[in-house]
Chain A
């Protein structure tokens, strides 16, 4: 079941509002709040930025689709762009000494560090983020937008 579906234009200025919209519909226990507000927020923001900037190439005619689901204490977000995909294994580790001073290349690393699972489809234009929350959490309604 898809609890929340968003179709976003390729506009990085829209990311903060979209992430806030999702966050507001994910009330969780106090214990899980930091994991939601830091880990999930960072992961979703980075996934959207990558999809718009690198996937869709900042092309305003293209869109990014987001599906957020909560099942069995697992919060899952799938972000799909309209690009030709990429090889996530080819992205260098930004924490290596030769890369630390580079201005870019940290988005995927942060996703992998902060989420429990980061899964790509074969093409590389769809990423699924999984964050395990404690039980008893849920969306405020099951809205589609």
Chain B
């Protein structure tokens, strides 16, 4: 798993490539926490190039969302494929996040 970080005005966009799973979830968490501690409040994590997220990866997203909200910010997720959407729906995490079809929609009006 790797990721690219870019800024769109005041929104931090993180594009994840590869699987987000128990063996690498901490890398994403550290990246977002670093940005959050640096003052960033608006985050979009894009999964257009992500085939799979396991329960540990889902847990990291939940944890990050909570930490960002506590600072007054928001985390949005975009570009989930059908399998990932299934996982979010099964676990009802689709009720916890704003999920958009693509990163452009997530960035729009943020």
A41: which B residues are within 8 A, CB to CB?
Answer: 52
Interface residues of A (CB under 8 A from B): 12-16, 34, 37-38, 41-42, 45-46, 49, 53, 94-95, 100-104, 106-107, 109-110, 113-114
B residues bordering A, Cβ < 8 Å?
A: 19, 21-24, 52, 54-56, 58-60, 62-63, 66, 83, 86-87, 90-93, 95-96
A47–B55 alpha-carbon span in the complex (Å): 11
Is chain A's binding surface mostly helix, strand, loop or mixed? helix
**Number of residue pairs spanning A and B whose beta carbons lie under 8 angstroms apart:** 68
Measured in the bound complex, the distance between the Cα atoms of B92 and A102 in whole Å is 12
Q: Is the Cβ of B60 less than 8 Å from the Cβ of A110? A: no
**Distance in Å: Cβ of A56 to nearest Cβ of chain B:** 13
When the two chains form their complex, are residues A110 and B91 in contact, meaning their CB atoms are under 8 A apart? yes
Closest to B90 in A: A113
